[in-house]
Structure 1
Amino acid sequence: MCFQSFLKWRDIETKLVEEEFDVCVVGGGVMGSCAAYSLAEAGKSTVLIEQFPIPHTRGSSSGHSRITSLSDYRHPFMASLVNHGYKQWLKLQTIAAEWAVRQAPVLTIGTDEEVIKHKGKRIESCGFPPTRLTIADLNAQYKSQFPSDRFAVIDPSGLVLVANKCVLLVQKLFKSRGGVILDGCPVKQVETEKERIRITCPRRVITCKSLVLCPGPWAKELLGKVGIKLPLRTLKTGVWYFKLRDPSFPPSSINDLSISNEFFYATRPFEYPGLIKFGVHDGVEIDPGEREKCDLSHLKKKMTDYLEEFFPQIEPQPSIEESCMYTMTPDSNFILDYHPKHKNIVYACGFSGTGFQLGPAIGEVLAGMVLDYEPIHDMTPFRASRFNLQDEEDPPKSPSATSKY
């Protein structure tokens, strides 16, 4: 760069830029990116603001893989959202002409035979034939040593979403529709002025008609700036990659529900040659800005103890260690709602470690809220009103939603 070009660049970088859009989306993870894409697809001038340079690994949408399948939900009210997200990921991959999804049947293990039978019926209702395994079949196929009180079923609709590629793919489609991405651009202030919203960032002021907030682990902090207080906790968790002693390990993902109060999972081996990703659905509460100060050694021990007990063909000491963050609600269901005083501000948060698969569906719902469309899903179970927001320190454990858009 010549000196004159450097001076011009410096002037641009230090000058206050003011811009106007129909919609501003804050948060460049999977939810914000999908919402921005849906809004641009609907013809709205849209800007996507991300506090860190893209791509980055500091939030909840980074990493190589997420598991999904058509039967992957805990509550019946999640079925339509899971189905919508599943189909949209396949559609987006086709539109972008880039692979970001891989097939990977999902093995579910449990000690409650009725739960596994119900899982099989749910798989059938999605149009796929489940494969029920005896304990002998399970141990033979997966080189495992589970005891005789286990039951298992395989869901052939399973997919692995290549997370980092999925987010970049959606952002690419967003830009192709005229969307603007501002990364490395943390939000400092949000002001409402009649029917307009003014967002102040370093060296930039954005004015818009509507605002969508998808702040991930920073939800409590950012939503607090606009007067929304929610019972959220940010957790840091780990994922570990272990060496396969037997390369013939089946190319499937795993959900193990058989240990009381624990949930272990694995992703189909493909990210690192000869390694399989395992994790435990648990974490340590943190300040998202200080995630590196957290000790995950007890979670790592849980994971290695689990492998030593049940998977002797997997090396119990990890070859690679990575981490991620969850934003948890008291009932582990996400929050999707309007600002209580400003209907032109909508937000989504608290996906509790299970939201990535829903990205395109949530993006379309958020866009519909902004555009005042008829709802495509019943969002009643996800309203903030299910929590007693008058007493943030002691929220109720079960939802009691009363509103529907």
Structure 2
Amino acid sequence: MNTDYDVIVVGAGSMGMAAGYYLSRQGAKTLLIDAFDPPHANGSHHGETRIIRHAYGEGREYVPLAIRAQTLWNELQEESGESLFEKTGVLGFGPEGSPFIDEAIASSKEYSLSLDLLDADEISTRWPGIQLPKGYKGCFEPDSGVLYSEKCIRAYRRLAEKNGVHIVPNTPVKNIEADKDSVSIETDDATYTAKKGIISAGAWNKDVLAHLNLDIPLQPTRQTTTWFESDPSLYEADVFPAFFVDVPSGVYYGFPSFDGSGLKIGRFDIGQKTEPAYVNREYGIYPEDEGHVRKFLDTYMPQAAGNVKQGRACIFTRTPDEHFVVDLHPKHSNIAIAAGFSGHGFKFASIIGEILSQLALDGHTEHDISIFSMTRPALQQTGDALPR
């Protein structure tokens, strides 16, 4: 098949699948091509759950996008008839002076978000599964919670296909050519053409964008999450929140136990530089992976430090400043690019999909995405500035 399309999306993971759905709602004849069959375990969206926060420690510029993303997730949940979001609330804590916690608090004040400020004793009283030393503080956002990530992608896919989107799975892209009026995508089986293109290939973006002579400093890193046996009276989702933590030993994030799955936890601020093909997802985790998070649990949530139920590896694709890349190609304005979601992107997949559909069809978006420009100074830096 080489039918002409309005838009071709290369990479149908979190952002690409959402973009396909929003394109379909606008009546665009859309093709999605993916090297795998989404949802799958080869990218960054597997592992069942992702946190969505509105008060944002990574920068208050994200808050309007997070609020819009939540609205779109709620709409998807209603349209699909599936349970996609769990309002567990999200707790953040760290020692006094934590820049991450301070920025989350400041962003909530600027945008009048509901946020409870708590000291160490108040946190430990409210959630007995947490033990904090004096001098720690926290913030609890009751309206945030957890997205069921793989279910979200399935819902977008089902509705997009219902609206006429054509999806070609298990099909790597071999070449891309573009001029001002068209985009041509070559695979082993066919060549597809469209007026517009979207590139959202996750950890494979660097290779895909090379076809368009574009080199963005993107570094995939191997990351892991681990599920621990835990007391349901302390850590089940009906009594315990999702959490993000900035403590002297590192930056961590985690999820309550859902239906006995165990407390899930990962570490954000470290990761081994890698290439996506080299990550062994079948094996799961190594002893050192468990050691990082078990040390955290022993210190702050000792009653959750039970036996490991399971561990999984995935990929973050990081930029030097940890901000995303969402922009038009500098030489091909009919191609939109989404890349570098740096481990905190899934919650924004709904609004990034909306933005990409607008960029592709209109050449601009109503949302402020200036922080994600590919011409920003941080992307012009060279050298080893990424975490190992």
191, 195, 200: which is aligned to 1:214?
Answer: 200
Shift of 1:298: 2.8
| Structure 1 residue aligned with 2:311 | 321
Q: After the TM superposition, which of the residue ranges 114-123 and 367-376 deviates more from structure 2? A: 114-123
**Whole-angstrom CA distance in 2 between matches of 1:388 and 1:105:** 33
333, 340, 361: which is aligned to 2:330?
Answer: 340
Task: Name the amino acid aligned to 2:263.
Answer: I
| Structure 1 residue aligned with 2:218 | 232
1:30-81: CA deviation from partner (whole Å, max 9, x where unpaired):
1001111111111110011111123310001222000012213521221211
1:256 and 2:249 correspond: no
Task: Name the amino acid aligned to 1:305.
Answer: K
- Aligned residue pairs: how many? 378
Structure 2: which 5+ residue stretches go unaligned? none
Shift of 1:392: 6.4
1:149-181: CA deviation from partner (whole Å, max 9, x where unpaired):
211221101120000000111111111211111
1:26 and 2:6 correspond: no
| Structure 1 residue aligned with 2:374 | 384
Matches within 5 A, 1:64-143: 64-112=48-96, 116=101, 119-120=104-105, 122-123=107-108, 128-140=113-125, 141-143=127-129
**Whole-angstrom CA distance in 1 between matches of 2:223 and 2:356:** 27
1:178 and 2:164 correspond: yes
1:276 and 2:263 correspond: yes
| Structure 2 residue aligned with 1:289 | 277
Q: 1:268 to 1:119 in 2, by over 3 A?
A: same
Any conservation in 2 of the 1:307–1:316 contact (CA below 8 Å)? no
Q: After the TM superposition, which of the residue ranges 373-382 and 76-85 deviates more from structure 2? A: 373-382
Shift of 1:382: 0.9
Equivalent residue of 1:70, what SS? coil
**Whole-angstrom CA distance in 1 between matches of 2:134 and 2:382:** 43
Equivalent residue of 2:39, what SS? coil
Any conservation in 2 of the 1:255–1:265 contact (CA below 8 Å)? yes
**Whole-angstrom CA distance in 2 between matches of 1:373 and 1:55:** 28
Q: After the TM superposition, which of the residue ranges 71-80 and 210-219 deviates more from structure 2? A: 71-80
Any conservation in 2 of the 1:128–1:156 contact (CA below 8 Å)? no
> Structure 1 length normalisation: TM-score?
0.87
Matches within 5 A, 1:141-152: 141-152=127-138
**Whole-angstrom CA distance in 2 between matches of 1:127 and 1:230:** 36
Task: Name the amino acid aligned to 1:292.
Answer: N
1:155 and 2:141 correspond: yes
Structure 1: which 5+ residue stretches go unaligned? 1-16, 398-405
Aligned sequence identity (%)? 26
Q: After the TM superposition, which of the residue ranges 297-306 and 112-121 deviates more from structure 2? A: 112-121
Task: Name the amino acid aligned to 1:201.
Answer: T
**Whole-angstrom CA distance in 2 between matches of 1:121 and 1:381:** 18
Any conservation in 1 of the 2:56–2:107 contact (CA below 8 Å)? no
Shift of 1:98: 1.2
Shift of 1:234: 0.3
Q: 1:395 to 1:258 in 2, by over 3 A?
A: closer
When Rg is computed on C-alpha atoms for both structures, the one with the higher figure is 1
**Whole-angstrom CA distance in 1 between matches of 2:121 and 2:179:** 66
Shift of 1:96: 1.2
Q: After the TM superposition, which of the residue ranges 173-182 and 233-242 deviates more from structure 2? A: 173-182
Q: 1:29 to 1:142 in 2, by over 3 A?
A: farther
**Whole-angstrom CA distance in 2 between matches of 1:296 and 1:377:** 41
1:169 and 2:155 correspond: yes
Task: Name the amino acid aligned to 1:300.
Answer: E
**Whole-angstrom CA distance in 1 between matches of 2:305 and 2:66:** 34
Task: Name the amino acid aligned to 2:36.
Answer: F
1:42 and 2:29 correspond: no
> Structure 2 length normalisation: TM-score?
0.91
Task: Name the amino acid aligned to 1:326.
Answer: F
**Whole-angstrom CA distance in 2 between matches of 1:235 and 1:44:** 35
Any conservation in 2 of the 1:54–1:184 contact (CA below 8 Å)? no
**Whole-angstrom CA distance in 2 between matches of 1:121 and 1:234:** 31
**Whole-angstrom CA distance in 2 between matches of 1:201 and 1:114:** 48
1:224-269: CA deviation from partner (whole Å, max 9, x where unpaired):
1111101110011000000113523332111111225x11111122
Any conservation in 1 of the 2:206–2:216 contact (CA below 8 Å)? yes
